[in-house]
Amino acid sequence: MLKNVLDYLDNSVEKYPNKIAVADEHNSFTYSQLKEKAERIGAGLLNVTSPRMAVPVYMDKSCNALAIFMGAVSAGCFYVMLDPSHPVERINMILETLGATFMVVDEKSAKKQAKLGFTGKVLSVEELLEHEVTDKDKKMLLQIRQEALDIDPLYSIFTSGSTGVPKGVIVNHRSVIDFIDYFTSTFNITDKDVIGNQAPFDFDVSVKDIYSTLSTGATMQIIPKKMFSFPTTLLDYLEERKVTTLIWAVSALCIVTTLNGFEYKRPSAINKVIFSGEVMPIKHLNAWREQYPDAMFVNVYGPTEITCNCTYYIVDRDYELDETLPMGKAFPNERVFLLDEEDKLIEPTMQGKIGEICVTGTAVTLGYFNNWEKTNQAFVQNPLNNKYNEIIYRTGDLGYYNNDGQLCFSSRKDFQIKHMGHRIELGEIEMAINAIDNVLRACCIFDKDANKILGFYEGDTDKKTIMHELMQKLPKFMIPSEFIQVEMPITKNGKIDRNVLMENYKANK
């Protein structure tokens, strides 16, 4: 039984020592090389840290970044990826939350790091990779490994906080191993696969790329961020690297179809497309499925707090533009259920009734690092169980069961509004707009100050057409007061950036 993700690496080294484990635009490591580099880094870290401490990694995603992750784990620590493109203030808040006394940089990120004002020790990955591993180091690393527990933290990912202070979700080895074993078996990810990594390494979608690769002996091709602005370059890269598996944010897939990428090239090896992060617009899903009729398409759902995903739906039929793609069913060893406003269970037979999506199981993470207040708000005792301790995570997302008893996503709790005396789900309006011809993507925001719904959309459709179409589908009180044609801003994690939409809207008033 596995209890540490290094068991994945060891097993793959044994089976595929000379196979490429990971490659980026400029570099690649075989499984043997990755293990050897991880050992060097782990030994180098012994002088500055101790088990179960954070190893902040300040650089862009790369082969070296993955080697640092494995090195941190070798030293019994957990890693925290910090994106150099993020504001200095945010990085400093994270370092302060971690109580960091050191951080790891590479040659490229070192100049930016100097502007942080960080007073701790700064380690160079290039120097760590040159560390000579002594017998004493080997003995210490072995002892750390033998004493490790599967509940030890593996990584922390910092999500945005409502108070402006980032929250660090802390995830242990047991949760990742439990999830990844089911994830790879459910979607038949094997050593024959080449996984095209789209997500930044400080975003939990990348966890699926990394550990699906290491656990199966697959190869991970790290796709440079810049390529997602140039679909022709992106598609060339996917073809050259023979990528078979895309585990991408919805927005990344939509970029390809929005910019008509398939008119240029159709990468030949793709056979699995697994998407998450937002509701997948049906017209974009249909465009991808038209290109890859024999591929597996999967809608997965779940926040960082439950280790990547808790539900999945393998698309098994064609969907009309105004249909809702189900969230599907829970992954094995996870229980996903709906609670109403009085914390009563909503049964699958109560079709259409909306409740908060809640999750329990091994995948539920350890909470927020050094933030008991927020942890205790979201990670709570199951109100349906008063017999023994059972922690659930309240996602803050709303869902319902459709006529087939399948779980469907409705919207965020924060996106459920009260307007003109009616309770409205903004997600329902967005879906209706997305179904209109020539609308590429839509986003609705409630402007509390002006007490009106704003409909932002990207595409060539004129506002009168949108209004006319919505009048056929929605009650009048749900139709936005204003439609704004935009080029949809996207966050680093591939979601529509609602804050930027509102900032631009107000600036242009």
Taking only the tens place, the pLDDT of each residue in 374-432 is 999 999 999 999 999 999 999 999 999 999 899 999 887 877 776 766 667 788 788 88
pLDDT digits (tens, 9 = 90+) for 85-130: 888 888 998 999 999 999 999 999 998 998 898 999 999 999 999 9
Q: Which helix (H) or strand (E) holds 154?
A: strand 153-159
Distance of CA 416 to the CA centre of its chain: 23
Q: Which residues contact 173 (CB under 8 A, 6 or more apart)?
A: 3, 4, 5, 148, 150, 151, 152, 154
Mean per-residue pLDDT for 240-254? 95
**DSSP per-residue string spanning 397-414:** EEEEE-TTS-EEEEEEGG
- Is residue 180 within 8 Å of 211, Cβ to Cβ? yes
Q: What is the pLDDT of residue 160?
A: 67
For the chain, give the mean pLDDT.
Answer: 93
- Is residue 424 within 8 Å of 414, Cβ to Cβ? no
Q: What is the pLDDT of residue 163?
A: 52
- Is residue 161 within 8 Å of 374, Cβ to Cβ? yes
Residue with token string 């990742």: 176
Q: Residue 399 pairs with which residues in a beta bridge?
A: 355, 409
Q: What is the pLDDT of residue 86?
A: 84
Mean per-residue pLDDT for 334-346? 97
- Is residue 202 within 8 Å of 82, Cβ to Cβ? yes
> How many residues are listed for the chain in this entry?
509
Q: Sort 504 into a burial class: Cβ within 10 Å, 0-12 / 13-18 / 19+.
A: middle
Q: What is the pLDDT of residue 166?
A: 80
DSSP letter for 311, please: E
Q: What is the pLDDT of residue 99?
A: 95
Residue 308 to residues 173, 305, 502: CA-CA distances in angstroms? 13, 7, 28
Q: Which residues contact 190 (CB under 8 A, 6 or more apart)?
A: 184, 216, 217, 218
> Coil, strand or helix: which one is 203?
coil
Q: What is the pLDDT of residue 423?
A: 65
Cα radius of gyration (the chain): 23
Q: What is the pLDDT of residue 414?
A: 74
pLDDT digits (tens, 9 = 90+) for 25-76: 999 999 999 999 999 999 999 999 999 999 999 999 999 999 999 999 999 9
How many Å from the N-terminal Cα to the C-terminal Cα in the chain?
A: 60
3-state SS record for 359-385: EEECCCCCCECCCHHHHHHHEEECCCC
Q: What is the spatial distance between Cα 127 and Cα 107, in angstroms, rounded to a whole number?
A: 10
Q: What is the spatial distance between Cα 184 and Cα 192, in angstroms, rounded to a whole number?
A: 12
pLDDT digits (tens, 9 = 90+) for 123-174: 999 999 999 999 999 999 999 999 999 999 999 999 865 455 788 999 999 9
Lowest mean pLDDT among 66-75, 228-237, 422-431, 468-477: 422-431
Q: What is the spatial distance between Cα 341 and Cα 356, in angstroms, rounded to a whole number?
A: 8
- Is residue 42 within 8 Å of 141, Cβ to Cβ? yes
> Coil, strand or helix: which one is 418?
strand
> Coil, strand or helix: which one is 71?
helix
Q: What is the spatial distance between Cα 158 and Cα 165, in angstroms, rounded to a whole number?
A: 10
Structure tokens at 36: 């050897």
Q: Which long-range contacts (CB under 8 A, 24 or more apart) does 238-242 make?
A: 238/196, 238/267, 238/269, 238/270, 239/265, 239/267, 239/268, 239/269, 241/23, 241/194, 241/196, 242/194, 242/268, 242/269
pTM given for the model: 0.87
Residue with token string 């992954």: 331
Q: What is the pLDDT of residue 509?
A: 76
Q: Sort 421 into a burial class: Cβ within 10 Å, 0-12 / 13-18 / 19+.
A: exposed
Give me the helix-helix angle, 31-45 and 63-74, nearest 10°.
Answer: 60
Q: What is the pLDDT of residue 421?
A: 64
- Is residue 140 within 8 Å of 46, Cβ to Cβ? yes
Q: Give the closest residue to 198 by CA, choosing from 186, 180, 210, 214.
A: 210
281-308: burial string, b at 16+ Cβ within 10 Å, e else: bbbbbebbbebbeebebbbbbbbbbbbb
**DSSP per-residue string spanning 481-505:** SEEEE----B-TTSSB-HHHHHHHH
pLDDT digits (tens, 9 = 90+) for 190-210: 999 999 999 999 999 999 999
Residue 206 to residues 181, 201, 250, 488: CA-CA distances in angstroms? 16, 6, 14, 23
